[in-house]
Structures are given as C-alpha cells and as structure tokens.
C-alpha cells in the first residue's frame, strides 16, 4: 500500500532544479596553495586570487554560469560570461573564502560586527529557542560560528558533498570552534532539531537553496523559485521565532552581520515566511550583488 | 488503554493531525510503514507534527532522531512505545 500522501504538486520539478553538488571549486592542490600563501599573509593570497578569478571567468565558464544569470537578473540587463561584473563576483567569492580560512585559522585580522546579537540574545534570554535562517551570501559561515557565543546548543542540519581530501585539508587548518553539521537528513531529521528548540537552543539553517521536502513557490528577482519551508514548519511546531540574518563583507577584513525583525511562524503560514525571507534577501543582495554565492541556476 | 484501542486511536489522530483527508483508518495497517516509499510516504514535516501530536495527546516526549526511526516505523511500533512510556 502506498499513498504518497505528501507528494506536493511540482515536487519532481523542484527537486530537478536542486542541482548543486556542494563541492568546492579549485580542487585539492588549489586549496592547498591558497592555505600555504595565507601563512605568509592575506595579500599574497589575494594576489594569486586576482589571476585565479580571471582563469575561472575565461576557462571555467560553466562554473560561473549561475553567477552570470544572477548578475543579469539583479542588473536588469544581459551580463557577458567574460565581463568585469563576472570577474568581480568570482574574485569576491574567493576573497570571502580566503577570509573565512583566515578567521577559522584563528587570525584576529577578520572582524565581524555582529548586530544579530541584539535580536537573538533577548529571545534566548526569555527562555525560548530560535530558528536562525540565512543564505549563501557574504561571510555566512563566519556569522554562523558567532552563534556559539550564546552558550546554547546549536543544531545545524545540512548536506556534505565536499571532497573528503579538501574537507580534511580545511579541518587541519582550523583552530577555532566549529558547529558540527548534522548530515543525517531523512524524514526524521527534524525531530532532533525540534528537541533542541524546545530546550532553548538554536537551529541554524540555510533557507535559500531548495534541497527536497516541502517548498513554497515565491518570487525572487522577478521570477519564481522553489524556497524551502522546513525552517518555518519547525519554528511553528516548537513555538519559537525565526530570525533571518545576513553577513556581508564591507571594508577590507571587515564583515557586518545583521538580523531582520523576527518572524512569528505562528502568525504566518510557512509560505508567507518563505516569501518574506526571499523578499528580505532580494533587498539585501541588491545592495551587495557581488556577494551572492549560489553558483548554479537558481531559476532554471 | 489496550494496544488495539490505542492503535485505532492513533490512526484517527494521525489522519487528523497530518490533515490526510484522502486516508481512512482502515487504509492503515498496524505494520504499514509511516515513512519511506513503500508506506504512507510521510515527509519530515509530518514527522515533526507526529512528535507534537504524541507529546500533546499522550504526554510522551520523543527527542532523539535515532530512536525515532524505530518508534515511528509504523502505528504498531508507535503504540508499543507509548504503552511502555506513558506516564
């Protein structure tokens, strides 16, 4: 007997669109070279990046296709595959990866102004948990690590498609505390997250990329995308607010993390929350268009 | 409440909590898989709502996803768990 009771309309199509692999570009030796250069300082690594970004734009156009489409949408005009804009996006992505490597290796050079604390701390102090949602933009991973400072349990569901050699290499260079990503997946993965929230902890997740499960069709930069809704269902079940955050690079070595006003998942439907998330993201990313790091066709 | 009464009660409550109007209690055998391709095909949000329903209706908290796989295998396994853990 098979009811497939939860076959949401358009699920196959939405799943077909979730095509990113989660693998780093550049390969093991590329990553190794940059990590060695970072030992000499940020500027030598940035210097090499000037050429590597150009190589990607000219010779690895497939890797940049998603970025080109994004830039065309955000600019409202056709952006060429080989263009200054595409180069800036590739370079900016590299800078954020290098900054992340520096920050996680314990360097004090990278500064994060974490304004999210003003929103998240009072929620936790009131005894409630919080669902913190973000997107693959700017310094999201560094901002995520800031969640450890509240001394609460942090649960981060995710996927892991990374090359094991590159993962090992990154881990070996890491000196700071890490939030372990829960990659169990499956239909029952939300249960542990729910328990963390009921215990006053934090569940941190991305809400931009759709990777399966329930979704909402929402407008993003003028066209419909499938936005995941698991975060909002989770918040609704646990009776906790959803805090949307973004973290963007500003001046050299400086990042700024900020939170939008909390969403009450009990007063809005998950689809309304997803729509609000994408609308907030759209306004934020329009002001930081070279910090959008979803390198696959978001709208295909 | 004996197991037979409990499973019947659970089937009604699952249908109601998960809003499955196309499913009737008689469609769900005690050993029908709740998740996965060969059974009801429930998803991760349904899992969440089941946990909330079990907490609210039976006062039993299920917090570990590793235990949950066995507990939520079917209505029968869920009933067994509730019988041994109800306060």
A211-220 residue pLDDT tens: 888 999 999 9
pLDDT of residue A134: 96
Record: contact B51-A6, CB cut-off 8 A: no
CA distance A198 to chain B (A): 10
Question: By the CB < 8 Å criterion, does A187 face chain B?
Answer: yes
- E-assigned strand segments in chain A: 111-114, 130-134, 154-157, 181-182, 202-206, 215-220, 223-228, 242-249, 254-259
How far apart are the C-alpha atoms of A193 and A156, rounded to whole Å?
Answer: 8
pLDDT-derived band at B36, boundaries 50, 70, 90? confident
How far apart are the C-alpha atoms of B12 and B28, rounded to whole Å?
Answer: 10
Interface test with B, best of A187, A199, A201 (most B CBs within 10 A): A187
Which residue does chain A place closest to B28, by CA atoms? Answer: A1
Percent of chain A with pLDDT over 70: 87
Contacts of A78 (CB under 8 A, 6+ apart): A72
Which chain A positions have a beta carbon within 8 Å of B38's beta carbon? 2
pLDDT exceeds cutoff 70 at B11: yes
Average pLDDT over residues B28-47: 88
pLDDT, tens digit (0-9, with 9 covering 90-100), for A67-92: 999 999 999 999 999 999 999 999 99
Domains and CATH numbers, chain B: 3-85 (1.10.1200.10)
Contacts of A80 (CB under 8 A, 6+ apart): A68, A86
Percent of chain B with pLDDT over 70: 98
pLDDT exceeds cutoff 60 at A169: yes
Q: Nearest to residue A220, comparing CAs of A130, A126, A131, A292?
A: A292
pLDDT-derived band at A175, boundaries 50, 70, 90? confident
Nearest by CB to residue A214, choosing from B32, B40, B43, is B43
Which residue does chain B place closest to A235, by CA atoms? Answer: B48
pLDDT exceeds cutoff 80 at B64: no
Percent of chain A with pLDDT over 90: 66
Interface A-B, measured as beta-carbon pairs within 8 A, has a size of 87
pLDDT of residue A8: 65
| Mean pLDDT rounded to a whole number for chain A | 88
Interface test with B, best of A183, A188, A236 (most B CBs within 10 A): A188
pLDDT of residue A243: 98
Average pLDDT over residues A6-27: 61
Which chain A positions have a beta carbon within 8 Å of B42's beta carbon? 5-6, 187
Question: By the CB < 8 Å criterion, does A189 face chain B?
Answer: yes
């Amino acid at each position: 007997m098979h009811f497939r009771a939860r076959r949401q309309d358009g699920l196959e199509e939405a799943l077909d669109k979730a095509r990113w692999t989660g693998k780093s570009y550049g390969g093991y030796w590329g990553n190794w070279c940059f990590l060695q250069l970072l030992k000499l300082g940020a500027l030598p690594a940035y210097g090499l990046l000037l050429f590597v970004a150009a190589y990607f734009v000219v010779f690895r156009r497939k890797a940049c296709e998603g970025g080109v489409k994004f830039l065309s949408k955000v600019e409202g005009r056709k952006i060429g595959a080989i263009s200054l804009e595409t180069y800036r996006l590739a370079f900016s992505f590299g800078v954020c990866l290098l900054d992340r490597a520096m920050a996680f290796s314990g360097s004090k050079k990278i500064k994060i102004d974490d304004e999210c604390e003003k929103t998240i701390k009072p929620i936790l102090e009131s005894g409630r948990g919080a669902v913190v949602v973000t997107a693959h933009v700017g310094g999201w991973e560094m901002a995520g690590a800031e969640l450890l400072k509240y001394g609460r349990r942090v649960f981060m569901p995710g996927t892991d498609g990374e090359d094991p050699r590159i993962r090992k290499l990154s881990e070996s260079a890491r000196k700071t505390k890490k939030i372990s990503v829960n990659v169990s997946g499956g239909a029952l993965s939300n249960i542990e997250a729910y328990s963390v929230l009921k215990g006053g902890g934090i569940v941190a997740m991305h809400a931009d990329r759709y990777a399966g499960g329930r979704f909402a069709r929402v407008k993003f930069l003028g066209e419909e995308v499938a936005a995941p809704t698991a975060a909002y269902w989770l918040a609704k079940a646990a009776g906790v607010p959803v805090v949307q955050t973004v973290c963007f690079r500003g001046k050299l070595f400086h990042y700024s993390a900020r939170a939008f006003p909390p969403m009450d998942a009990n007063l809005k439907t998950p689809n309304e929350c997803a729509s609000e998330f994408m609308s907030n993201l759209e306004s934020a990313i329009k002001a930081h268009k070279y910090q959008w790091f979803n390198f696959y066709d978001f709208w295909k | 409440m004996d197991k037979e009464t409990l499973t019947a009660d659970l089937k009604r409550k699952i249908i109601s909590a998960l809003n499955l109007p196309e499913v009737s209690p008689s469609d769900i055998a005690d050993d029908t898989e709740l998740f996965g391709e060969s059974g009801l095909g429930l998803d991760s949000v349904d899992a969440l709502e089941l946990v909330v329903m079990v907490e609210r209706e039976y006062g039993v908290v299920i917090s570990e996803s590793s235990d949950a796989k066995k507990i939520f295998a079917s209505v029968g396994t869920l009933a067994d768990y509730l019988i041994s853990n109800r306060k």
